[in-house]
Amino acid sequence: MNIKMLTMGAMALAMMTGSAFAGSTSALDDPTKMSPFFTDAGMKTMKSEADFKTAWMP
């Protein structure tokens, strides 16, 4: 019985913290942060693999 109560409490806590994070915005939603990865202003076409390698590989 104690294990069941602990499990239910842990699940309730996990669900509450998950909903708190759902309200925050991520970097993927910010066009200014994502624009270096795309070739067009509408962010529909990504840059080529060669462009990524030159930008991110030393």
Percent of the chain surpassing pLDDT 90? 2
pLDDT, tens only, 12-54: 888 777 655 555 667 777 788 888 888 888 888 888 889 888 8
The Cβ-side half-sphere exposure at 6, using a 13 Å CA radius, reads 3
pLDDT of 24: 61
Looking at residue 22, its pLDDT comes to: 57
How many whole angstroms separate alpha carbon 45 and alpha carbon 40? Answer: 6
Model pTM above 0.75:
no
Q: Tell me the residue range of the domain where 44 lies.
A: 2-56
If one counts every other C-beta atom within 10 angstroms of the C-beta of residue 27, the result is: 8
Total domain count, the chain: 1
